[in-house]
Amino acid sequence: MSDHDTDDQIEDLPLEALPLDAWHRAKGARMVPFAGYEMPIQYEGIVAEHNWTRESAGLFDVSHMGQLLLSGPDLDAAVEAVLPIDLSTLKPGRQRYSLLLNEEGGVLDDLMVSRMEDGSLYLVVNGATKWDDIGTLREALPDDITLNHMDEQALIALQGPKAADALARHAPEAAALTFMTFGTFALAGHKVQIARAGYTGEDGFEISLAAEAAAEIADLLCGEPEVKPIGLGARDSLRLEAGLPLYGHDLSPETSPIEAGLIFGINKRRRAEGGFPGATRIIREIAEGTGRKWVGLKIEGRLPAREGAEVFSGSEKVGIVTSGGFSPTLQAPIAMAYVSAANAAPGTALEVEVRGKRLAATVAPTPFVPHRYYRGS
Amino acid sequence: MRYFTDEHEWIDVAGDVATVGITDYAQGQLGDIVFVELPAVGTKIEKGKDAAVVESVKAASDVYAPITGEVIEVNGALEEDPSLVNTDPQGEGWFFKMTIADSAQLEGLMDEAAYKDFVASL
């Protein structure tokens, strides 16, 4: 018995332990290498954890992600030269999805940008790319912009329809946040930053807190009847159902955000004005369209098609799967794939090849499972 | 007599027929199994080479032939309910039955006690 693919980022560097390492092990987690850390892939089982998050609330340790704080004179202009974001419309307490692009318009990373009360910018970037991101940002930003890697901070996500109920018992004011807003709150006496956001398609929160408080807060939240710890395995199946891209799989330096359907990551004023890395290609693709598009696929039967599986229309190869698996919610295989624009319309009948077998697949709208973000009552 | 491999397959020998499956340890490592791809009846499989594929939510994993022989029956129940491999891996979750081309190949395999020690050492 052996895994076909070890799709985790295994680097040559020795694996590091995250602040909640011992906490995960005590909860019975199976730990695997991911993004240079040992991380919990599952506790009781991926499907049980997946379903629990969809029905109740799950706690995810995402402390491997990079938390960065940018500050300094003329910060907005400096950052706008690097990211295709319109910072003139990003008010304190709000966060927005953005993209780190190379000069060719390829994706180096996707990230969240939050405006702090003092005008500084708090970024959350992917774990596997954070060191490269820091290098790219330091290189691109003027010397008088300070980049603080907040590596003393942990990051915990609380996701699911009952996340707000559980959190409200400890930080009632945080339950008033709406999707993509954040604030500073007291949680068990610790000062924490809570954003209403996540990566599961469900309502939920991301809590940035001091590493030394992480175990106490994780215990506090998992002490609520709605909350269980959830591993990376379910995190992946949840985000796939939600149609959300995973960097390194669905996004890479070889993909443009326009073909990935992430035009919202290129803010309107920037589409008109340009002035960010890769703008020439991005603006051209917005005007002319792209040769291929990132789409959802529903696959007949029960056999999942995974990353790397080729997509066909008749005998013609028209695309490739970038993420795929079995959807616990739909009880069927689902996938995300780049396919030629001519084959990208929902309802298009295609085939996916898995170990020499052709599986019937249909282009499907995403998300596969509807998002349930809280945008206010 | 039941034998075990270091690839976490079990093989039950009754006369000249061997029944093959994966161990409880293996199913625990794989997690929730959503699909089992079994070899066709009549397939000649070779010790140590691919015989079946198990798809869990997370990944696809190969199952190797513990010995050389020919597949004579497969567990059709797994098509309907692949989770049998999780719930009863060493019983109803069996994969296939095969002939035994060379019974000497059985000698290199572990018995239950040896396999238990092997798993404990992992």
pLDDT per position as a tens digit, A267-294: 999 999 999 999 999 999 999 999 999 9
**Residue A113 falls within a domain, yes or no?**
no
**Residue B114 falls within a domain, yes or no?**
no
Question: Does A233 touch chain B if contact means CB atoms closer than 8 Å?
Answer: yes
- Residue A299 contacts residue A360 (beta carbons within 8 Å): yes
Contact: A233, B57; criterion CB under 8 Å: yes
**Residue B121 falls within a domain, yes or no?**
no
DSSP notation for A241-261: HTT---BTTTB-TTS-TTTTT
Complex-level ipTM: 0.84
Give the single-character DSSP code of B110: B
Beta-bridge partner residues of B110: B4
**Residue B113 falls within a domain, yes or no?**
no
**Residue A257 falls within a domain, yes or no?**
no
Question: Does A353 touch chain B if contact means CB atoms closer than 8 Å?
Answer: no
Distance from CA of A326 to the nearest CA of B (A): 5
Contact: A1, B63; criterion CB under 8 Å: yes
**Residue B112 falls within a domain, yes or no?**
no
Classified as helix, coil or strand, B120 is helix
Angle CA(A114)–CA(A117)–CA(A123) in degrees, nearest 5?
20
What residues make up the domain containing B12?
A: 2-102
Beta-bridge partner residues of B11: B3, B20
**Residue A279 falls within a domain, yes or no?**
no
**Residue B70 falls within a domain, yes or no?**
yes
Predicted confidence band of residue A6 (pLDDT cuts 50, 70, 90): very low
Rounded CA-CA distance A191/A308 in Å is 44
A148 pLDDT more than 50:
yes
Tell me: do A51 and A155 sit in the same domain: yes
Percent of the residues in chain A that have a pLDDT greater than 70, as a whole number? 97
Strands B50-56 and A357-364: unpaired
pLDDT in tens, A333-362: 999 999 999 999 999 999 999 999 999 999
Q: Which residue shows structure tokens 């995960």?
A: A24
A7 pLDDT more than 50:
no
**Residue A277 falls within a domain, yes or no?**
no
Give the single-character DSSP code of A91: -
Classified as helix, coil or strand, A53 is helix
Rounded CA-CA distance A42/A253 in Å is 30
Tell me: do A58 and A172 sit in the same domain: yes
Tell me: do A231 and A306 sit in the same domain: no
- Residue A224 contacts residue A177 (beta carbons within 8 Å): no
Distance from CA of A356 to the nearest CA of B (A): 12
Distance from CA of B14 to the nearest CA of A (A): 23
Tell me: do A342 and A204 sit in the same domain: no
**Residue B69 falls within a domain, yes or no?**
yes
A38 pLDDT more than 70:
yes
- Residue A241 contacts residue A334 (beta carbons within 8 Å): yes
**Residue A225 falls within a domain, yes or no?**
yes
Contact: B9, A1; criterion CB under 8 Å: yes
**Residue B117 falls within a domain, yes or no?**
no
A2 pLDDT more than 90:
no
**Residue B48 falls within a domain, yes or no?**
yes
**Chain A residues whose beta carbon lies within 8 Å of the beta carbon of residue B55:** 303-304, 326
Beta carbon pairs, A and B, within 8 Å? 69
Domain at B24, CATH number? 2.40.50.100
Contact: A303, B37; criterion CB under 8 Å: yes
Tell me: do A41 and A185 sit in the same domain: yes
Question: Does A332 touch chain B if contact means CB atoms closer than 8 Å?
Answer: no
Question: Does B39 touch chain A if contact means CB atoms closer than 8 Å?
Answer: no
Whole-number pLDDT of residue B8: 96
For residue B81, CA distances in Å to A359, B76, B88, B93 come to 19, 9, 11, 9
Instruction: Looking at chain A, list the stretches that DSSP marks H as alpha helix, in order from N- to C-terminal side.
Output: 21-26, 46-55, 75-80, 130-140, 163-168, 214-222, 232-241, 268-273, 279-288
Which residues are CB-neighbours of B77 under 8 A, at least 6 positions away? Answer: B84, B92
A245 pLDDT more than 50:
yes
Count helices and strands in chain A by DSSP H and E runs = 9, 21
* Section A304-324 average pLDDT: 97
Q: Is the peptide bond before A367 cis (omega within 30 degrees of 0)?
A: yes
Q: Which chain B residue lies closest to A41 (C-alpha atoms)?
A: B58
Question: Does A3 touch chain B if contact means CB atoms closer than 8 Å?
Answer: yes
Q: Encoding tokens for residue B88? A: 């009863």
Distance from CA of B59 to the nearest CA of A (A): 7
A3 pLDDT more than 80:
no
Q: How many domains does the structure of chain A reveal? A: 2
A5 pLDDT more than 80:
no
pLDDT in tens, B26-67: 999 898 999 999 999 999 999 999 999 999 988 899 999 999
Distance from CA of B63 to the nearest CA of A (A): 5
* Section A79-107 average pLDDT: 98
**Residue A2 falls within a domain, yes or no?**
no
Whole-number pLDDT of residue A377: 74
Burial class (CB in 10 A: 0-12, 13-18, 19+), A271: middle
Q: Encoding tokens for residue A284? A: 């051209």
Q: How many domains does the structure of chain B reveal? A: 1
Cross-chain CB nearest to A304 (options B22, B34, B62) = B34
Selected residue of B10, B33, B38, B57 to mutate for chain A interface (largest A Cβ count, 10 A) = B57
What residues make up the domain containing A309?
A: 291-377
**Residue A77 falls within a domain, yes or no?**
no
- Residue B36 contacts residue A326 (beta carbons within 8 Å): no
How high is the mean pLDDT of chain A?
95
Q: Of A241, A274, A309, which closes a domain?
A: A241
